[in-house]
Every structure is written in structure tokens, then in C-alpha cells.
Amino acid sequence: MRLKGQTAVVTGIGAGIGEAIALRFAEEGARQVLVDINKANGERTLAKVRDAGGEAQFVTADISKDEDARQIAQSAIDYFGHIDILVNNAADFTQIGIEAAKLEDWQRVFGVNVFGTALVCKYVVPHMKERRRGSIVNVGSMSGIIAQRDFATYSSSKGAIQTLTRCMALDYAPFNIRVNTVCPGCILTSASYREIERLGLTFEQWRDQVAPGHMLNRLGEPREAANAVLFLASDESSFITATDLMVDGGYIAH
Ligand SMILES: NC(=O)c1ccc[n+]([C@@H]2O[C@H](COP(=O)([O-])OP(=O)(O)OC[C@H]3O[C@@H](n4cnc5c(N)ncnc54)[C@H](O)[C@@H]3O)[C@@H](O)[C@H]2O)c1
């Protein structure tokens, strides 16, 4: 029960890694405000969390909208009175190279991944500052570090998240608020299946292309990324801030 008595806000919980974080946090006793733009998927995760004995509320919100971001923080305060943990996991997966990308593509991917993350932080941080306590975990990607062909839009947004993490870690260290990034390698989620469809490959063809890039020669599971988020969110990582934790099966060192 590593998160007993703690309140967490987790975005992008309707699928994949976010759903795994919500379930993992429930196992560890957190009270949660779960956020997703997709109401049906968000309510499905909420039901799973409650079935597992977790205490949670669901908020439908688009993190790229200022009013929605403000509402996320306010809902957490209204439901539970304080916020100990924020996990910025929701993301847009627009992956396009420089020549093909239109302004709207940049606006969409940065709107969610960078501006959305920053907006939710903007409204949550004052509540953490008041109590001089908080842990923020931003979900980046190995794509923020390595170059992948025709990925400029997404990769640069993920690189920006790592920089945002370091800037926030410095600004809020005096308030005992830690800020870190988890950088997954390839984790099998709904995003993977969208990518397989986009590339016109079978699952096996795609897996055989992608898995060997990881030293461990396999794809990661959502729960493996969630475990890293749990560590950085919890007090077990109390002297860790401004860091990037790779959960990439050794990909970037390969
Ligand atoms: N799957 C991977 O291989 C992989 C690798 C590296 C990093 N990541 C990162 O992990 C995180 C989760 O990825 P995933 O694979 O689980 O994705 P996913 O597409 O399976 O789930 C993302 C969730 O975020 C929600 N969402 C999207 N835009 C939103 C918005 N504007 N407001 C609120 N919710 C929104 C979606 O509805 C969805 O439920 C992302 O930050 C992603 O960049 C994933």
C-alpha cells in the first residue's frame, strides 16, 4: 500500500499505459481522479479500478483546453481535498516528418503533449505548493531522445516534455515538489495497433521489426511502464527529481 492516503490525478487513463497506471495505483491504495478525453473508455477504466477495490472518480476532459485543465485540478480538490501526485500521461500520436507536417499537425501534437501537460501542471501545482508536497510524473518517450524516421512532430514534443520536467523540477524543488519523466520504449497498447494499421503491416511483421531494437528483444507491457511511474510517484523515490527514467528494455543504449 505504497500510496495509501495519497490522492493522484492521472490523465489518459482510457487505454494502454494510463489504464495500467490507474490499476497499479489502485492496488497501492491511492485515491484517484482519472482523466480522459474519451468518456466511454474512461468510464470503462473507472469500473475496472472500482472492481479492484480502488477509490476513484472520472473526469472527461481535453487536457489541451485551458478550462478543462483548470476543471481537472478543481475536481480533485472538490472530491478529495488535496493532490499529492500528478501523472501527465495523455498524448497525441501525430508522427509526421517536417515536409509533410502541416501547422495544424504541430498545433495538435504540441497542444496535447506540451501545452496540455503544462496546463494541467499550472492548475495542480498551486495546491501542491500550499502543502509543500508533491510528485509529478510526466510520461515522455524514448522518441524524445533517439531519432526515428518521419517522427519529427511527436519526437520533438516528447523532447520538450523532458525539458519541461527539468525546468519545473528546479522551480518547485523549494516547495518539496519533485518532477520526473518516465520514458518508455515500445509498449504494446492501442497506440501500437494504430501504428501497425498506419504502416499496413501484420502484427508479427511489425513486432519483428520493432522488438530487436530493444536489448531485451521484446515489446514492453503497460504494467512495466506503470511500475516505473509508481516508483517515481511514491515516496520511495524521495531524493529523485529532474530525472528521466528509461523503461525501454535497453533501446537507447543499444
Ligand atoms: N505505447 C508506446 O509504445 C509508448 C512509447 C513511448 C511513450 N508512450 C507514451 O505513453 C503514454 C500513453 O501511451 P499509450 O500507448 O498508452 O496511448 P493510448 O493511445 O493507448 O492511450 C492514450 C490515452 O490518452 C487519451 N487522450 C488523448 N488525448 C487526450 C487529451 N487531449 N486529453 C485527455 N486524454 C487524452 C486517449 O483517449 C487514450 O485513452 C503517452 O504519453 C505516450 O506518448 C507510449
Interval 186-234: pLDDT, tens: 999 999 999 999 999 999 999 999 999 999 999 999 999 999 999 999 9
Per-residue pLDDT at 30: 98
Q: Is 79 among the catalytic positions? A: no
pLDDT band, very low/low/confident/very high, at 23 (cuts 50, 70, 90): very high
pLDDT band, very low/low/confident/very high, at 139 (cuts 50, 70, 90): very high
Per-residue pLDDT at 109: 98
Q: Mean pLDDT across the chain, nearest whole number?
A: 98
Letter string b/e over residues 227-253, b meaning 16 or more CB atoms within 10 A of that residue's CB:
ebbbbbbbeebeeebbbbbbbbbebbe
pLDDT band, very low/low/confident/very high, at 236 (cuts 50, 70, 90): very high
Per-residue pLDDT at 71: 98
Catalytic residue among 154, 172, 193, 251: 154
Per-residue pLDDT at 192: 96
Letter string b/e over residues 183-206, b meaning 16 or more CB atoms within 10 A of that residue's CB:
bbbbbbbebbeebbeeeeeeeeeb
Which residues, other chains included, contact 33 with Cβ-Cβ below 8 Å and sequence gap of 6+? 7, 8, 9, 10, 56, 57, 58, 59, 72, 75, 76, 79, 80
Ligand 1 center–CA 238 separation, angstroms: 26
Q: Domain 7-185+221-247 adopts which CATH fold?
A: Rossmann fold (3.40.50)
Can you tell me the distance from the alpha carbon of 179 to that of 39, in angstroms, rounded to the nearest whole number? 28
Rounded (10°) CA dihedral 144, 28, 115, 210: 30
CB 164 within 8 A of CB 117: yes
Any ligand 1 atom below 6 A from CB of 219: no
Q: Which ligand 1 atom is nearest residue 88's CA?
A: 41
Q: What are phi and psi of 10, to 5 degrees?
A: -130, 125
Per-residue pLDDT at 232: 99
Mean pLDDT computed over 78-86? 98
Q: What is the pLDDT of residues 89-106, one digit of tens each?
A: 999 999 999 999 999 999
pTM for the model stands at 0.99
Q: Which ligand 1 atom is nearest residue 38's CA?
A: 37
* Grid cell in block for residue 5: 492516503
Q: Domain ranges for the chain, please list them.
A: 7-185+221-247, 187-219
Per-residue pLDDT at 44: 98
Q: What is the pLDDT of residues 148-168, one digit of tens each?
A: 999 999 999 999 999 999 999
Any ligand 1 atom below 6 A from CB of 155: no
